[in-house]
Amino acid sequence: MNRWIYPKLAFEGIRKNRQMYFPYIMTCIIMVTMYYIMSFLQLSDTTKVSFGDTIRMILGLGTWVIAIFSTIFLFYTNSFLIRRRKKEFGLYNILGMGKRNIGVILFWETLIVYVVSIMTGLFIGIALSKMAELALVFVMRGEVSYGISVSLRSVYMAVILYGGIFVLLFLNSLRQVRLSSAIDLLKSDNMGEKPPKGNIFLGIIGLMCIFTGYYLSVSIGNPIAALAVFFIAVILVIVGTYLLMIAGSVFFCRLLQKNKGYYYKPEHFVSVSSMVYRMKRNGAGLASICILATMVLVMMSSTTTLYTNSEDTLHIHYPNEINIEMEYESLGIEERSDIESILSKIQTVCRENDVIPSNEVKYSVAIVTGQIQDTQVETNQTEVEYMTAASFKDVSMFYFISLEDYNMISGTNTQLNEGEALMISGRYNYKGNTISFKGGREFTIAAKSDKPEKITNGMEYLISVIYLVVPDVNRAVQGLDKLSDSSGFPRVNYESYYYFDTGKDDKVQKALSDKLNTEIADSDGYETHKYSYLRIDDRESNREDFYSTFGGLFYLGIVLSFVFLIAAVLIIYYKQISEGYEDEKRFDIMQKVGMTKREIRRSINSQLLTVFFLPLVLAGLHLAFAMPIVSKVLIMFGMANTKMFVITATASFGVFAVFYAVVYKITSNAYYRIVSGV
């Protein structure tokens, strides 16, 4: 036998089945391209120098996600190809070609697809890598570098990774052919699937998993607790979706069959009977589309919201251009004198750098953590630490601020008597008229007020923060200042803040911040001053880090969403094509007994409306119930604009719904051409 017969047969097999192979090869090329680009950006000198380790870690995560997803998804799509080719291999076997010879053909087919995919994918990846780098720099507001380079390490990693994947694909295809007889291979197109037993039970379990995931999402009130249960909720919803789709499609089709008024109509009879025939695969495919759609929606809406709100988040953490925070063991006379000494030095440095501080905010606080129980606050360190580690329910941070500082910041002339407090409860709805601290004092709530805009605290988005304005901070925490945690650290923390604007450009702000750090927060600062902690930050220096993190996540969200969208489209396409070939004979028979082209189109539309839009509806439901827990996770990044997240998520769903409808319209036309013989 001619040694080139096998490559020729492999090439002809691919060419004759190009309707199946072309999308598969294009997907392989896209996966290789995206993997190279992500790896290139991770290893790029521009990324390393301009953005540091944070973005490299994010891009490294994206590289791993694409690698793992490529493995899973290529196995999934390859199964469609093998199912379609089994009949052809069975014919080869009947004509005298052994399983070993068929294995050689499979080897050459796999090799051809691999070589085309890796060479084309790397070529496109290298060609687009610079454009991708410029897009990343634009998103993250970095400095543009126009040098072009090729990452040999990324090329090597892509060749090895996808080489390994295609070896596994070849072995899996070989296994399926070797374990099937010639008759089984010939009849593979006509082999139906038995309905899964106990489908009602599986459906109930699926619903329970989904509802449990929904409950976790809507019931978690604290962002830190939300982060801990987020992945549990995700897993429950994914498992529940698969069980519900597989079992539910069986039950749903049977209900339609029992409805004689619906079932015995030309446009419904063929579509429903076809769905029953392949109900198990139908449910798994729909569930995969639903999960991919949900991942795209959640990823795009969350990362877009983070990126578009980067500036607001930056201002929450750094309310002024220069932000100074000091921590002390107490706020006695000596400590207050030390604070004034530091402020005096700051003023001197500002004058030397031709800066006049404006929009100044200056105040000191005593901070206590406790769990609210009716009108009493549990301050026992064992109880509070247990609750903090568990659910953070009703755990609050109490900021005691002096009446003098409050009036100066708010521009008011509030008066308080000894034992009274003005409460600013924020998002915690405290209803009592008094509040007492175990181990400390009791206060009468003289009034409740809004927090002055000049006081910003990033912690209030993570945990309930309650401000108590009192005549004297030291007297207010008497008794509490004797408490300590399990490590021996005081339960009461004392902090002093000084924020101001410079009115200068970013270079002056950075220079002033560096000067303040050099002359005040130097190595001997702990010896010459009484603070236990001092941080001097400028907003501009941290702006780069914020945009690096949020821009990197946004960029990663775009890349992964594109990959998942391609996957969803390919699943939809193969689903339509494979089902079209399976239904071809049925529709041929129906046409011979009088079914018209118009009735075929109506039957296809019925099938689309009956089943294929279920993933979109369920993905929208998943997104709606995911919003509460995702918004809490976003708060961990400092993004507290829940309204913006809801708007972005709703817009994302609308855009995706239009895209989904267009894809199904295009693929349904391919299905129609196959079954109608057009």
3-state SS, one letter per residue, for 358-377 = EEEEEEEEEEEEEEEECCEE
Q: Kindly tell me if the per-residue pLDDT of 193 is higher than 50.
A: no
> Which pLDDT score is estimated for 204?
83
At 207, the pLDDT band (50, 70, 90 cuts) reads confident
Task: Determine phi and psi for 168, rounding to 5 degrees.
Answer: -65, -40
Query: Mean pLDDT across the stretch 343-351?
Result: 88
> Which pLDDT score is estimated for 390?
45
Residues belonging to the chain: 678
Question: By CB neighbour count within 10 A (0-12 exposed, 13-18 middle, 19+ buried), where does 183 fall?
Answer: exposed
Q: Is 350 helix (H, G, I), strand (E, B) or coil?
A: helix
Co-location of 532 and 478 in the same domain? yes
Q: Which of 191, 222, 241 represents a domain boundary (last residue)?
A: 191
Q: In which residue are the tokens 């912690």 written?
A: 459
Query: Chain-centre distance of CA 177, in angstroms?
Result: 39
Co-location of 349 and 425 in the same domain? yes
533-538/358-373 β-pairing: unpaired
Please tell me which of 56-60, 345-349, 602-606 the model is most confident about, judged by mean pLDDT. 345-349
Cα dist from 218 to 214, 230, 280, 381, whole Å: 6, 11, 31, 29
pLDDT in tens, 131-165: 877 777 777 666 656 667 778 888 999 999 999 99
Compute the distance between CA of residue 358 and CA of residue 320 in angstroms, rounded to an integer.
10
Cα dist from 65 to 58, 59, 168, 623, 639, whole Å: 11, 10, 19, 21, 25
Range of the domain at 155: 1-191
Co-location of 121 and 254 in the same domain? no
Q: Kindly tell me if the per-residue pLDDT of 565 is higher than 60.
A: yes
Co-location of 290 and 388 in the same domain? no
Tokens of 648: 């972005």
Please tell me which of 58-62, 94-98, 629-633 the model is most confident about, judged by mean pLDDT. 629-633
Compute the distance between CA of residue 422 and CA of residue 401 in angstroms, rounded to an integer.
10
Q: Kindly tell me if the per-residue pLDDT of 181 is higher than 80.
A: no
Cα dist from 229 to 65, 194, 223, 400, whole Å: 21, 37, 10, 32
Q: Kindly tell me if the per-residue pLDDT of 39 is higher than 60.
A: yes
Co-location of 215 and 165 in the same domain? no
> Which pLDDT score is estimated for 521?
66
> Which pLDDT score is estimated for 119?
93
The DSSP letter of residue 456 is: -
Q: Kindly tell me if the per-residue pLDDT of 196 is higher than 50.
A: no
330 dihedral zone (left: phi>0; alpha: psi -120 to 50; beta) = beta
Q: In which residue are the tokens 């999934």 written?
A: 76
Co-location of 373 and 515 in the same domain? yes
Residue 23, CB-side half-sphere exposure with 13 Å CA sphere = 19
Averaged pLDDT of the chain:
78
Compute the distance between CA of residue 656 and CA of residue 571 in angstroms, rounded to an integer.
16
Q: Kindly tell me if the per-residue pLDDT of 411 is higher than 70.
A: yes
Share of the chain above pLDDT 70, in %: 73
Let me know the angle formed at the C-alpha of 271 by 266 and 275, rounded to the nearest 5 degrees.
Answer: 150
Co-location of 523 and 616 in the same domain? no
Q: Kindly tell me if the per-residue pLDDT of 69 is higher than 60.
A: yes
Compute the distance between CA of residue 399 and CA of residue 469 in angstroms, rounded to an integer.
8
Co-location of 212 and 186 in the same domain? no
> Which pLDDT score is estimated for 162?
92
pLDDT in tens, 461-511: 667 788 899 998 888 888 877 766 655 566 788 889 999 988 888 888 888
182 contacts 93 by C-beta, under 8 angstroms: yes
> Which pLDDT score is estimated for 30?
86
Compute the distance between CA of residue 410 and CA of residue 455 in angstroms, rounded to an integer.
9
| Among the listed residues 427, 435, 429, 501, the one whose alpha carbon sits nearest the alpha carbon of residue 464 | 427
Query: Mean pLDDT across the stretch 330-351?
Result: 86
Q: Kindly tell me if the per-residue pLDDT of 118 is higher than 90.
A: yes
Q: Which of 136, 170, 191 represents a domain boundary (last residue)?
A: 191
pLDDT in tens, 369-384: 888 888 888 777 565 5
> Which amino acid appears at position 5 of this protein?
I
420-424/442-448 β-pairing: parallel
> Which pLDDT score is estimated for 666?
79
DSSP, residue by residue, 480-498: GGG-B-TTS-BS-EEEEEE
> Which pLDDT score is estimated for 167?
92
Query: Mean pLDDT across the stretch 197-208?
Result: 74
At 389, the pLDDT band (50, 70, 90 cuts) reads very low
210 contacts 294 by C-beta, under 8 angstroms: no
677 dihedral zone (left: phi>0; alpha: psi -120 to 50; beta) = left
Bridge partners for 399 per DSSP: 367, 467
Q: Which of 496, 524, 539 represents a domain boundary (last residue)?
A: 539
More confident residue, 265 or 297: 297
Count up the domains in the chain and report the number.
Answer: 3
Co-location of 177 and 42 in the same domain? yes
Compute the distance between CA of residue 48 and CA of residue 149 in angstroms, rounded to an integer.
14
More confident residue, 169 or 551: 169
Co-location of 166 and 87 in the same domain? yes
Q: Is 397 helix (H, G, I), strand (E, B) or coil?
A: strand
622 contacts 287 by C-beta, under 8 angstroms: no
Co-location of 99 and 228 in the same domain? no
At 195, the pLDDT band (50, 70, 90 cuts) reads very low
At 198, the pLDDT band (50, 70, 90 cuts) reads very low
Let me know the angle formed at the C-alpha of 525 by 524 and 526, rounded to the nearest 5 degrees.
Answer: 90
533-538/376-378 β-pairing: unpaired
More confident residue, 325 or 23: 325
| Among the listed residues 675, 678, 677, 657, the one whose alpha carbon sits nearest the alpha carbon of residue 604 | 675
At 116, the pLDDT band (50, 70, 90 cuts) reads very high
Query: Mean pLDDT across the stretch 258-278?
Result: 59
Q: Kindly tell me if the per-residue pLDDT of 618 is higher than 70.
A: yes
Cα dist from 486 to 330, 384, 385, whole Å: 20, 11, 9
Co-location of 236 and 145 in the same domain? no
More confident residue, 247 or 250: 247
> Which pLDDT score is estimated for 582?
66
Compute the distance between CA of residue 208 and CA of residue 216 in angstroms, rounded to an integer.
12
pLDDT in tens, 285-330: 778 888 888 888 888 888 888 888 888 888 878 888 888 888 888 8
> Which pLDDT score is estimated for 621?
92
Query: Mean pLDDT across the stretch 56-60?
Result: 75
Share of the chain above pLDDT 90, in %: 5
| Among the listed residues 23, 47, 213, 211, the one whose alpha carbon sits nearest the alpha carbon of residue 551 | 47
Query: Mean pLDDT across the stretch 159-182?
Result: 82
Tokens of 646: 């809801």
Task: Determine phi and psi for 533, rounding to 5 degrees.
Answer: -160, 135
* Least confident range of 70-74, 144-148, 290-294, 554-558: 144-148
The DSSP letter of residue 466 is: E
Q: Kindly tell me if the per-residue pLDDT of 188 is higher than 80.
A: no
